[in-house]
Amino acid sequence: MATATTARSTLREGSLGTLAGTGKLLRFQARRTRVYLTGWFAGMIGGTLAIAAAFPDMYATPDERAQFATTVDTPAMRSMTGPAEYIDAYAQSGAAMFAHQMILWSTLVVAVMYILLITRLTRADEETSRLEVIRSQPVGRRADLAAAMLLASISAVALGLLIGLSTLVMEDADFTGAMLYGLLHTAVAVTFAAITAVTAQIAGYSSTSNALAFGALAFGVLMSMVGNAQENAAVWLSPFGWAQETLAFTPEQNWVPIVVAAVVSAVLIWLAFALVARRDFGQGLMAARPGPATARAGLRSIGSLSFRLSRGLLWAGIITMVLLGAAYGSIVGGADDMFETLSETQRQIFEQEGASITEGFVVTISLISAFTATIFGLLVIGRARKEETGGRGELLAAAPVPRSGWPGSYLPIALVTATVASVVGTVSLALTGVGSMGEWSYFDEMLIGGLVHLPAIWIMVALAFACLGWLPRAGWLRWLPWAYVFIAGYFGPILEFPDAMLSVSPYEHVPSYPVEDLDWLPLVVLTVIAAAITAIGYMGVRRRNLQFS
Amino acid sequence: MTAVIRTENLVKRFGHVTALDELDLEVAEGQTHGFLGPNGAGKSTTIRVLLGMLRADGGTARLFGSDPWSEAAELHRRLAYVPGDVALWPGLTGGETIDVLGRLRGGIDKRKRDELLERFDLDPRKKGRSYSKGNRQKVALVAAFAADVDLLLLDEPTSGLDPLMAAVFNECVREVAAQGKTVLLSSHVMSEVEQLCDRVSIIRKGVIVESGTLTEMRHFTRSQIHAVLKNPVRGLGDHEGVHDLRTEGLEVRFHVDGTALDDVLAQLAVAGIASLTCEPPSLEQMFLRYYGDELAAKGVDNGNGD
């Protein structure tokens, strides 16, 4: 009896009621996510450093920046960057220009990072009953959420600090501005962590929780774009808008948006804590709806099943590529105006081989679109591997389905997904591009300029499939070629990669239509190589052991 | 009788670990064959080699006389499989999953499917991610029993099922067996195997250590005897087939090897028997006997002693 009383009282004294055990869980969660956090930190800080280091050289003098500022001050360009106050500060400070170009995209990445982190630590653990083991320990009902939010907040502060310090490599960057630039990242990170803490209580499954949080993210991006294009208060409805309204590195810099973010986050966190104590363990506030008792008639082959399981990626690809195409297409028309502002040397670079500035711009945009469309093909291949490690494929591998059907059917689906994403993005670019130029004659050029990249995309997808066939455990190997090719294509010219290093990339061999003539030979060769890699991939898939958990 | 499953000197290695070490397994047509062994003994590995998911490193495996690796897809038309740990697609309902798996083998008997859903008391409208372990198991069981196949490979199929559903499962296996279909049933539940199986193979560290009918196996293992005699018996403890002898006046208790039963009973009859009970070993006792040394090392009584 005496021991029982002691045990109970120590539990009470050493605890905070429903928050008991938060400290221990925080250490545990920090340990579990150290690889995840390290990866994202490295990417964010490396990216900031690299771009901040390269930025001053691109527009070195106040004159060049002032000229560039006049081309950026259009609704379309503002929607892709940020408020006009930055543009006014271009001439004075290269750092202001850097902040203007970077904030939306940089904070977008941070938002994605924190949405995934919080769902992973809360709803995903609850769904897989990992949290059940933890909750059976002497920890409070709110401790895991509290630990997750603490981890998010602490890491967000550290990330903001490091990003801020990274910007100091720019000569124009002052310390206060750098701290504000870092802190606005912290603010966006904490805000989206708080949003996700709420969606994780509403949704019963981690996929739904992520979907709701990404919905909030899309709304934020849209409001920022609309608000900045039309210069109205819609910006203030968006966490990204708050980040932009800090006006970091400009003379008008403003700390109020940080306070707004802190207040909104506090309210959301309070709401999440109220909800977590109110609902049952393992349940969301959204009731699960029953589905169909029988499969639809179309769901009858291994191909249709694999497609059904990965069609979400196809839709994600289509939406992303349409938006990307429309965003770029809307500024194609301004390319010639932009050209007017360039210095004599810069004109020469673009004017090579007698091509127009618009045509050069189309080539660059098409390449970026092709890189992006490839991602969706690689993601489909990743799904095939997930089916295997998740053990679901075991039911299919035991069915009368050859290896070419499972996991083989994922290759055609990946190819179709990447192809459709690319075609849709190209059409979107061509249509909006024609609209912004007011001239239909460019439609064909832009369409073909995009479609010529397809054979290169096919090679990348086939390569990922071959890795699945021969080295299935090395998931990173599926992404390494893409990362290399992206760096070579995007930064290679700036970093002056030798030709041999560039020519490894299939995208290097795609004719730069409409700047160059359309040469069919490389396209045929690339397609043949893609087919050969596909055959090698199928050989690997046929001969290896399947690895179910 | 032809063998539906036959492996000879089957070897499977994972890196340095030899999971199957010259395994010989034979299951004849129409048999319900129990496959026993502790976790990690190689039961699931054997089944996955037979399904062509894993490639053998040595020896041969034959399913219906064909190579399960190269003829996998064709052979799978004739069999259904229930994995030990069923993972379902989170976004597909149980009903959709059962239908898809059925259609992959060319169609599903709707009447049979609905009947099985009813018997297993399974709601087909729930999404895969919201089923409990037992219900996931039921989805795979309904899909397997609804299929018109010659062979069922069941890897610990009742883990996670409640006793009521385990009884339904037993009934389903009996029906399938009555139709002359072959069943390989890997299990930890001894009573289930004792009730359902004609033959049993015991696997240990990748080797089949014992295979036979339960009667055969009992013959080679020890029965427990409790007798009250009319006169004292002498020399019983000297008999090499007698173990753990305890005598209290005219009452004797001991274990006796199946092979020594004739001799020992004759010896008792000479002394005169007032009452006698002879308990054959349960499958559990036989099973534990094969793992006796392992259990002894862990400080557990092997169950055959006192």
For the stretch A191-246, pLDDT in tens is: 999 999 999 999 888 888 998 999 999 899 889 988 998 888 999 999 999 999 99
Q: How many Å apart are CA A495 and CA A449, to the nearest integer?
A: 25
Interface test with B, best of A127, A392, A409 (most B CBs within 10 A): A392
Name the DSSP class of B200: E
Cα Rg of chain A, angstroms: 26
For B54, half-sphere exposure in the C-beta direction (CA atoms, 13 angstrom radius) is 24
Interface test with A, best of B104, B149, B184 (most A CBs within 10 A): B104
Q: How many Å apart are CA B90 and CA B101, to the nearest integer?
A: 15
Of A94, A74, A108, which Cα lies nearest the Cα of A184?
A108
The alpha-helical segments, DSSP class H, found in A59-142 are 62-72, 75-80, 84-88, 94-121, 123-127, 130-135
Q: How many Å apart are CA B22 and CA B11, to the nearest integer?
A: 5
Nearest to B104 among A291, A400, A546 (CB): A400
Per residue of chain A (549 residues), what is the pLDDT tens digit?
444 444 444 444 444 688 888 999 999 999 999 999 999 999 899 989 988 887 777 778 888 888 888 877 877 778 878 999 999 999 899 999 999 988 998 999 899 999 999 999 998 888 877 888 888 888 888 899 999 999 999 999 999 999 999 999 998 899 999 999 999 999 999 999 999 999 999 988 888 899 899 999 989 988 998 899 888 899 999 999 999 999 999 999 999 999 999 999 999 999 999 999 888 887 888 777 888 999 998 898 999 999 999 998 999 899 889 988 887 787 777 666 666 655 555 555 555 555 677 787 788 889 989 999 999 999 999 999 989 988 899 999 999 999 999 999 999 999 999 999 999 999 999 998 888 787 788 899 899 999 999 999 999 999 999 999 999 988 888 888 998 898 888 777 666 778 888 889 999 999 988 888 889 999 999 999 999 999 999 999 999 999 886
Which chain A residues contact residue B51 at CB under 8 A? Answer: 397-398
| Residue B160, phi-psi category: left (phi > 0), alpha (psi -120 to 50), beta (remainder) | left
For residue B290 the two structure tokens come to: 């094969």
Instruction: Report residue A103: phi and psi, to 5°.
Output: -55, -50
Nearest to B54 among A391, A396, A545 (CB): A545
Q: How many Å apart are CA B173 and CA B145, to the nearest integer?
A: 9
CB–CB contact B53 A546 (8 Å): yes
Q: Which amino acid would we find at residue A73?
A: D
ipTM of the modeled complex: 0.83
Q: What is the signed CA dihedral for A384, A387, A391, A394, rounded to 10 degrees?
A: -60
> In sequence order, what are the residues at sequence separation of 6 or more whose Cβ sits closer than 8 angstroms to the Cβ of residue A348?
none
Which chain B residues contact residue A469 at CB under 8 A? Answer: none
* H or E element in which residue B208 lies: strand B207-213
Q: Regarding beta strands B58-63 and B3-14, do their DSSP bridges make them parallel or antiparallel, or are they unpaired?
A: antiparallel
Q: How many Å apart are CA B219 and CA A442, to the nearest integer?
A: 90
Give me the pLDDT at residue A11, please: 45
For residue A377 the two structure tokens come to: 């093909």
Q: Tens of pLDDT along B23-46?
A: 999 999 999 999 998 888 999 999
CB–CB contact B93 A290 (8 Å): yes
Give me the pLDDT at residue A8, please: 47
Which chain A residues contact residue B106 at CB under 8 A? Answer: 400
Of A19, A221, A217, which Cα lies nearest the Cα of A119?
A217
For residue A492 the two structure tokens come to: 């290679």
Nearest to A395 among B106, B130, B140 (CB): B140
The alpha-helical segments, DSSP class H, found in A203-299 are 206-230, 239-245, 256-278
User: What domains can you pick out in chain B, each with its CATH number?
Assistant: 3-216 (3.40.50.300), 222-280 (3.30.70.260)
Q: What order do you get walking across the sheet with B58-63 strand by strand?
A: B17-28, B3-14, B58-63
Instruction: Report residue A232: phi and psi, to 5°.
Output: -130, -175
Crossing angle of the two packed helices B163-178 and B110-119, in degrees rounded to 10: 150
Crossing angle of the two packed helices A410-437 and A454-470, in degrees rounded to 10: 150
Which chain A residues contact residue B86 at CB under 8 A? Answer: 391, 395
Of A539, A31, A394, which Cα lies nearest the Cα of B144?
A394
CB–CB contact B103 A295 (8 Å): yes
Q: How many Å apart are CA A487 and CA A351, to the nearest integer?
A: 24
